[in-house]
């Protein structure tokens, strides 16, 4: 298992670099660019735009821009006079102010060293800004994942055991509905329902549940523990978990039906074991094997955030942060989110393979 895990990690390295190259090319091909977004206005002169482009380095060749973003730019400088100060580059002139004279700007480290650069608009370190939002994204994603598993898996097992019953039919219809309803429409519908329709019907002056945010805005010193603001998690968690409930219930039902037709299940019944013991102890464990395909990426994908849900409910997580960065063409933030999501996805598929062996001891990797 250890050798297999190490081999899979090594195989993921070229995939990771391929993702970075493709993402960087797509980002640079976007119309406008950061200079146009930062200098939007009739009073900005062409000289100012040229100086800003020189400071950002967007006029350099694409390979140089990519390597600077990936590895940093200290490798591009040398100490020509031996005074211990990097004062020039062996590849391109370092013209920080656009005056035609090379000069050394500050050294940037690169994403492989854990430095995603500085935001074009916030003028802050991107890594620290992402760190401020990871907790909110993990909180919402973990809540939705736990709700999806705790509801979807039992529904799938019971639906398979009671195949053809009203419960089975109702759960299949609900699963199709949850998968067909757009997330943004469901979120807006719940906001209207709990924010105005139900309070008006009950004669209340305030919404039944908070319509957005992670905690009350009047608090000073940050949000309280999760048990003190659980009402803020109800609506976004439900919206984000509906798709997971539908997917998990349908796959578990199909897998459980296949397991129930196996010989060892009939043998367990013939030995006089109780139905619940046969279904949950012998059948459910084997029926959970296909779930590992989704569970691995779902766990690590919590870092990726849920852009639509976080935007609708004003949740201060990575998803909403990435949407705002895309609108503003803040390239360092967008690329940082892409890198985090790519790493989480690669680790998720490796985790899925490990879960296969943990759920089914018969599975071994050579």
Burial (CB count within 10 angstroms: exposed 0-12, middle 13-18, buried 19+), residue 82: exposed
Taking the C-alpha atoms of residue 35 and residue 50, their distance in angstroms, rounded to an integer, is 9
Phi and psi angles of residue 72, each rounded to the nearest 5 degrees, phi first = 95, 175
Q: What is the pLDDT of residue 75?
A: 63
pLDDT score of 96: 44
pLDDT at 97: 45
- If DSSP codes are grouped into helix, strand and coil, which group holds residue 149? helix
Residue 40: per-residue pLDDT: 63
Say if residues 170 and 249 touch (Cβ distance below 8 Å): no
Please say whether the beta carbons of 155 and 249 come within 8 A: yes
The answer to whether the CB of 77 falls within 8 A of the CB of 104 is yes
pLDDT of residue 301: 66
| Structural domains of the chain sorted by starting position, each given as residue range(s) with its CATH number in brackets | 31-113 (no CATH), 126-359 (1.10.3720.10)
pLDDT in the model for residue 151:
92
- What's the whole-model pTM score? 0.77
Ordered per-residue pLDDT tens for the chain, 366 residues: 677 778 878 888 888 888 888 888 887 777 766 666 666 666 767 777 777 777 666 777 788 888 888 887 766 654 445 555 544 444 444 444 445 554 444 556 678 888 887 887 788 888 888 888 888 888 888 898 899 889 998 899 888 888 888 999 999 999 988 888 888 899 899 998 888 888 888 888 888 888 888 888 765 667 778 888 888 899 999 998 888 898 888 888 888 888 888 777 777 777 777 767 777 777 777 787 777 777 777 777 666 667 888 888 988 888 888 888 888 778 888 888 888 888 888 888 888 777 776 766 666 555
**Residues contacting 59, CB < 8 A, separation 6+:** 53
Q: Taking the CB of residue 348, how many other CB atoms lie within 10 A of it?
A: 20
pLDDT of residue 91: 42
What per-residue confidence (pLDDT) applies to 85?
Answer: 52
């Amino acid at each position: 298992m250890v050798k297999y895990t190490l081999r899979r990690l090594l195989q993921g390295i070229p995939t990771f670099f391929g993702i970075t190259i493709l993402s960087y090319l797509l980002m640079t091909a976007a119309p406008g660019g950061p200079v146009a977004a930062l200098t939007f206005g009739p009073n900005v002169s062409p000289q100012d735009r040229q100086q800003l482009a020189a400071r950002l380095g967007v006029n350099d060749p694409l390979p140089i821009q990519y390597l600077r973003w990936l590895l940093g730019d200290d490798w591009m400088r040398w100490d020509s006079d031996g005074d211990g100060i990097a004062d020039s580059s062996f590849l391109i002139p370092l013209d920080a102010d656009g005056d035609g004279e090379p000069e050394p700007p500050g050294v940037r480290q690169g994403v492989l060293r854990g430095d995603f650069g500085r935001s074009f608009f916030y003028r802050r370190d991107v890594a620290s800004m992402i760190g401020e939002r990871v907790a909110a994204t993990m909180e919402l994603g973990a809540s939705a994942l736990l709700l999806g598993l705790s509801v979807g898996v039992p529904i799938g097992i019971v639906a398979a055991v009671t195949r053809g019953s009203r419960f089975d039919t109702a759960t299949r219809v609900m699963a199709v509905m949850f998968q067909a309803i757009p997330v943004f429409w469901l979120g807006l519908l719940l906001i209207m329902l709990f924010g105005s329709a139900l309070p008006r019907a009950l004669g209340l002056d305030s919404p039944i549940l908070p319509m957005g945010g992670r905690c009350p805005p009047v608090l000073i010193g940050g949000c309280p523990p999760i048990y003190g603001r659980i009402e803020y998690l109800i609506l976004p968690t439900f919206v984000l978990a509906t798709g997971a409930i539908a997917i998990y219930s349908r796959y578990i039902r199909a897998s459980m039906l296949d397991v129930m037709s196996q010989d060892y299940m009939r043998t367990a019944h013939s030995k006089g074991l109780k139905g619940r013991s046969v279904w949950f102890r012998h059948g459910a464990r084997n029926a959970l094997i296909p779930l590992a395909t989704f569970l691995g990426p779902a766990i690590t994908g919590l870092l990726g955030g849920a852009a639509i849900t976080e935007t609708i409910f004003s949740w201060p997580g990575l998803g909403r942060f990435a949407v705002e960065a895309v609108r503003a063409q803040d390239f360092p933030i967008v690329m940082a989110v892409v890198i985090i999501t790519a790493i989480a996805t690669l680790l998720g598929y490796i985790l899925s393979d490990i879960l296969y062996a943990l759920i089914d001891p018969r599975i071994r990797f050579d």
